[in-house]
Amino acid sequence: MSLTDLPRDPEPMTATIGDDVLDTLAPAYTAADVAELRSLVHGPVYAAGDDGMAAEVATWNVAVQHTPAIAVGATCAADVAAAVSWATDRGLGVAVQATGHGPVRNAAGSMMITTRRMQGLSIDPERRVARVEAGVKWIKVLEVAAEFGLVGLCGSSSDVGVVGYTLGGGMGSLGRKHGFAADHVRTVEIVTADGRLRRICADNEGELFWAVRGGKGNLGIVTALEIELVPEKTLVAGGIFFAGQDTPALLHAFREWAPTLPEEVSTSIAIMRMPPMEELPPPLRGQTVVHLRYAYAGADLDLGERLVEPMKAAGEILLGFIGPIRTTEMDSIHMDPVDPLPAWEKGMLLSELTEETVDTLLAAAGPQLDIPLIMVELRLMGGALGRQPEQPNAVAGRGGAYSLMILGPAVPELAQVVPAIGKGVLGALTPWKSPVNMVNFLGDVTGPDEVAAAYEPGTFERLREVKQRVDPAGVFSFGHAF
């Protein structure tokens, strides 16, 4: 139903929200209320049933489809503040989305604020700082920063938004040398549940500043970040695909090789079941392969190439390249898909990677099995990822030695099969499970308790105290909520 179909003096429209949002009476608003909202913001406003609503809240991971009651396409921080105030006055929970890469559940009945129109980016090369608005993707930062010999701590894909990735921690291809992306945040501009736009840093509202760097979207809507850039121009990096028949030898070689690497190296290895798509090179098409991802961010480029030689010798190379690349080419390391797709994902951290761990993983997900998992990845952690930055934050997962990430197709015919098999692989590795996890790698979560369990107990208790102070009614209770 469109607003134009409503009578002149309508009865209130009731928006249904999930049990995990606001513990209040069902919120209600009228056509006049929506007209008022349109007068308060510069961007578009859509009510349920309006043409354009579906496109406004569309996700990159199309396995999750949002059905909010209201959507606001924010163009600036003032739009976000006005929208949050309007929603809380009417008892609506508030969700936020930039690129749509990270949805974990339908934000049904909410006000959804989309921030992709907020594209402000400025770089101060002298201070090595970038101010990034909420809709900016990493590729834009990488391209502009490279002009000054600088780089931001992007993840495996530069198509992802800077803000959401960073608030959950942000572990990328330079992580072991430089730490989490959240470790390099200098200031945060955030709209809290009271509708206030706050500019916070270590010296101004320090407790909220600590919490939002790692607290994901639980504390408000971040409209901009100031982030430190690091001086890297050239990396020795890339990826190599190996024949699936060599999976056992490759994973055991990785187990022995990875812990010997200096902190300048970040690396991962993945069992990949490639689809039979004509767009793929023939050696990969429809095959189970092993993909080694590697990035060396040190001064000695020759050393960077020598360090990876033991892995090159561990299996039959099908194709790939590891060598000098520009920082704008870091997508070539992981080669994440660029087009929207339906995906189920879930991860956990491992405290160690022993011979038995690898054998167990091979038994549960090796190439001898006909299972519908696209990727099973082991990623080396440690280094700067295991240390608190100069300004400590709430990022979860510093105690992990390796991450284990599983990705599968979330298509209707496999809706039950993929999660069951994926969780079965994770369950098999439980003896080596770390007591903490990374929020960005939680994927499909069962609820707030699972999110809370990702953090160390003391960290989570402190986060809850901040949440109670700035969002006592639980306005921001979608996504990775706690």
Beta strand 94-97 pairing with 111-114: parallel
Evaluate if residue 391 carries a pLDDT over 70.
Answer: yes
Average pLDDT score over residue span 430-442: 96
Question: 3-state secondary structure string, 171-234?
Answer: CCCCHHHHCCHHHHEEEEEEECCCCCEEEEECCECHHHHHHHCCCCCCCCEEEEEEEECECCCE
Evaluate if residue 21 carries a pLDDT over 70.
Answer: no
Q: How many residues does the chain have?
A: 482
Average pLDDT score over residue span 134-141: 98
Sequence letter at residue 179: G
Residue with tokens 């430190």: 228
Q: Is 92 in contact with 110 (CB distance < 8 Å)? A: yes
Q: What is the pTM of this model?
A: 0.93
Instruction: Supply φ then ψ for residue 213, to 5 degrees.
Output: -85, 85
Sequence letter at residue 58: A
Architecture of the domain whose range is 3-114: 2-Layer Sandwich (3.30)
Task: Write the pLDDT tens digit of every residue in 178-217.
Answer: 999 999 999 999 999 999 999 999 999 999 999 999 999 9
b/e per residue 239-267 (b: at least 16 CB within 10 A): bbbbbbebbbebbbbbbebbeebebbbbb
Q: Is 259 in contact with 355 (CB distance < 8 Å)? A: no
Domain(s) labelled CATH 3.40.462.20 in the chain stretch across: 234-453
Evaluate if residue 34 carries a pLDDT over 60.
Answer: yes
Q: Per CATH, is 121-231 categorized as 3.30.465.10?
A: yes
Dmax over Cα atoms in the chain, in whole Å?
A: 75
Evaluate if residue 24 carries a pLDDT over 80.
Answer: no
Nearest CA to 441 out of 370, 377, 369 is that of 377
Beta strand 70-73 pairing with 111-114: parallel
Q: Is 369 in contact with 414 (CB distance < 8 Å)? A: no
Query: What separation, in Å, do the N-terminal and C-terminal C-alpha atoms of the chain show?
Result: 34
Is residue 444 very low, low, confident or very high in pLDDT (cuts 50, 70, 90)? confident
- What lies within 8 Å, CB to CB, of 141 at 6+ separation is 121, 130, 132, 152, 154, 162
Evaluate if residue 16 carries a pLDDT over 60.
Answer: no
Tokens read off for 330:
């870091």
* Beta bridge mates, 375: 272, 407
Q: Is 209 in contact with 200 (CB distance < 8 Å)? A: yes
Task: Write the pLDDT tens digit of every residue in 346-369.
Answer: 999 999 999 999 999 999 999 999
From the CB of residue 398, how many other CB atoms can be counted at a distance below 10 Å?
22
Nearest CA to 67 out of 29, 112, 119 is that of 112
Domain(s) labelled CATH 3.30.43.10 in the chain stretch across: 3-114
Domain(s) labelled CATH 3.30.465.10 in the chain stretch across: 121-231
Mean pLDDT of the chain: 93
CATH number at 234-453:
3.40.462.20
Evaluate if residue 5 carries a pLDDT over 70.
Answer: no
